[in-house]
Every structure is written in structure tokens, then in C-alpha cells.
Chains A and B, each alone.
Chain A
Amino acid sequence: EPEVTQTPSHQVTQMGQEVILRCVPISNHLYFYWYRQILGQKVEFLVSFYNNEISEKSEIFDDQFSVERPDGSNFTLKIRSTKLEDSAMYFCASSVRPTYEQYFGPGTRLTVT
């Protein structure tokens, strides 16, 4: 069964460093998303991506964040200069259409020290 994959599973970084989180969405999906979940809190939307551009972003997704689909399979989230409060689980998701089922990856746990 097709699934969304994410790497790495756990990333530890120092404050101020850049990190890139990687995702491989399900192959026939066209809509891609990043969400995050701070420990004990709700899953929060960060950004949606369609047709090689950002279609919607939340107020969390400021200039420190960027997304890219560098090739036909990968979808990346970059945080330019990490802060302590960026520590969270980051989930990638994909969907065939925006209102259809969204399938999530296993997540990357980001720890900023």
C-alpha cells in the first residue's frame, strides 16, 4: 500500500542552524502539506503546496520557513535559522484533491537545543 515517507525520523540541531526535513508523498498525489505538532498540543497546519507553488500558509509559516519540490518525488521543508520553539513533530501529508483524504507520514521529531 502506498505511503508517505519522511526522513530523518529524528533531528537534533542547535539554535540558529538550518534544517531540511524531507518527505516523499504518495506518487499520484498532487497536493502536499506540512503540519507540526508541539508535544501535547494540536496538529497545526503550516503550508500547502500545489502545482509547484505555495497555495496557502499559516501565520506560523514565516520567512524562516520555505518549501520546495526539488524533483518529481521529494518535498522538503527548510527552516533557515531554528529557534527553541521550533521543537516539534513535523508531519508531511499528501492528497489527490484538496478535499479528499489526506495521508500523513510518520513524522520527523525536531529537537532544537
Chain B
Amino acid sequence: QKEVEQDPGPLSVPEGAIVSLNCTYSNSAFQYFMWYRQYSRKGPELLMYTYSSGNKEDGRFTAQVDKSSKYISLFIRDSQPSDSATYLCAMPDAGGTSYGKLTFGQGTILTVHP
């Protein structure tokens, strides 16, 4: 079983739609969760950073963590064409000797069409 699984899509939605992006993970030691946005041939841009279970909201973005199910989500409200990108979930090692190695999902390709 892969450590982090993410449906690669592609996902195509109309402008204004609510988008739901998801990852599952197998390593119960993961405690911190990040969502990145990556435009084609660019570096990952950090969108959201959360710790433990619950919700975190930042503008149109909401990150949700369910540690009991090992499932994390990113919701985008009122999606815009500029949101078209690949969305990556990532989790750092958090063990006692950890130095923060990130494990990434495959990435979900999102297209928001006008």
C-alpha cells in the first residue's frame, strides 16, 4: 500500500463550483498535513498547513483532517479559472528523529473552465 494516495483526476469543473480534493494515507505517525498548488513546470506553492484532526479555513480554501480515517480533504469554494493547477497533499515525518522529509501524493489535476 502506498503511503499517500491521491486520485490524479483530471478533475474539470465550471467556474463557481465547489471543488473537493482528497488524500488517504497509511502511516498513522503523520500528524501534520500540507496542501500545495503547483502550476505547470513551477515549484509547489504552500496553500494550507494543518495539524491533527479538524478544519482550517483560509479565504476560499478549507482543509479538513480526519485522522481516524486517515483521510484529508481540501475544499475550494467559488472556484476560479486561476485555480486550475495540480494540487498536492504532503505530510512530513514527525517521528523522534525526524527532519521533516515530505511524502507527497501523486497530485490531482484541476481545471476550472469559465
Listed in ascending order, the chain A residues whose CB lies under 8 Å from chain B are: 4, 6, 31, 33, 35, 42-45, 48, 50, 55-56, 58, 89, 91, 93, 95, 97-107, 109
* Chain A residues whose CB sits within 8 angstroms of the CB of B43 once the complex forms: 4, 6, 91, 104-107
Q: Are B46 and A102 in contact (CB under 8 A)?
A: yes
Q: Which A residue's beta carbon lies closest to that of B106?
A: A42
Residue of B32, B46, B106, B107 touching A99 (CB-CB under 8 A): B32
6 closest cross-chain pairs (CB), A and B: A98-B100, A55-B99, A104-B43, A48-B99, A43-B104, A106-B43
Q: Which B residue's beta carbon lies closest to that of A57?
A: B101
Q: Are B92 and A102 in contact (CB under 8 A)?
A: yes
Listed in ascending order, the chain B residues whose CB lies under 8 Å from chain A are: 31-32, 34, 36, 41-46, 49, 88, 90, 92-94, 98-107
Whether A43 touches B44, Cβ cut-off 8 Å, given contacts A99-B31, A99-B92, is yes
* Chain A residues whose CB sits within 8 angstroms of the CB of B36 once the complex forms: 104
* Chain A residues whose CB sits within 8 angstroms of the CB of B100 once the complex forms: 31, 33, 48, 95, 97-100, 102
* Chain A residues whose CB sits within 8 angstroms of the CB of B46 once the complex forms: 101-104
* Chain A residues whose CB sits within 8 angstroms of the CB of B34 once the complex forms: 101-102
Whether A31 touches B101, Cβ cut-off 8 Å, given contacts A42-B107, A98-B92, is no
9 additional A-B pairs beyond A43-B44, A89-B41, A101-B34, beta carbons within 8 Å, are A35-B102, A42-B104, A48-B99, A93-B102, A98-B99, A101-B49, A104-B46, A107-B42, A109-B41
Q: Which A residue's beta carbon lies closest to that of B92?
A: A99
Residue of B42, B94, B98, B102 touching A102 (CB-CB under 8 A): B102
